[in-house]
Amino acid sequence: MMARLTLFIAAIVFACGCAHVISKDILEKVNMDITFTELRKDPRAYRDKVVLLGGVIVKTVNKDNGTLLEIYQTEINRRGKPIKLDISQGRFLAHWKGFLDSEIYQKGRKVTIVGVAKGEETIRLGEIDYRCPYIIVNDIHLWEKEQPQEYAPYPYYPWRLWWYPWYHYHPAYRW
């Protein structure tokens, strides 16, 4: 009986750890067949279709009617987290109809959005006019900042070199 209970609890914990960040109700409305490449080629063909996109924020602009996020698209994993940040198919604009603080939703943060494609907008990138898909956001998930892992300057060995006869006298082994 105890083994079954342990197995059941482990299954629940495992299932919760693999859950998508966007709610199941909203995900059911998403057309998973639409890729960003197709959307970027012809945004008007997918007008009023619900899409799931992820990427990294380039710019956040607060306006009277909400917040506009300029995002460069990246691939997302099964949980919806942006991955392979050095590979992108382009940029898109995401409009949230509320206020998003630009200090929180700042450049370099990863986001996953579900929204309705509304066509395309032209933005200025340097000296070029860049056409990109325009999305009205239904749901947004801001991923936590990832802290770099700190490692010891040398590999940790679980044993000490106590057997080495000159261990205590060698300068490299003193701490």
Query: For the stretch 78-90, what's the b/e string if a residue is b when 16 or more beta carbons lie within 10 angstroms of its beta carbon?
Result: ebbbbeeeeebbb
Say whether pTM exceeds 0.85: no
Identify whether 52 is part of a domain.
yes
Q: Is residue 81 domain-resident?
A: yes
- On whether residue 66 sits in a domain, the answer given is yes
Query: Per residue of the chain (175 residues), what is the pLDDT tens digit?
Result: 556 655 555 555 454 455 667 778 888 888 888 889 999 999 899 999 999 999 999 999 999 999 999 999 999 988 888 999 899 999 999 999 999 999 999 999 999 999 999 999 999 989 999 999 999 999 999 999 887 777 655 555 555 555 555 555 555 555 5
Q: Is residue 138 part of a domain?
A: yes
Residue 26 belongs to some domain of the structure? yes
Domains in the chain, number = 1
pLDDT at 9: 57
Percent composition of the chain: helix, strand, coil (DSSP 3-state, to 5): 20, 35, 40
CATH number of 130's domain: 2.40.50.140
In terms of Cβ atoms closer than 10 Å to its own Cβ (0-12, 13-18, 19+), residue 25 is exposed
- Asked, for residue 157, whether it belongs to a domain, the answer is no
Expressed as residue numbers, the domain containing 135 is: 16-142
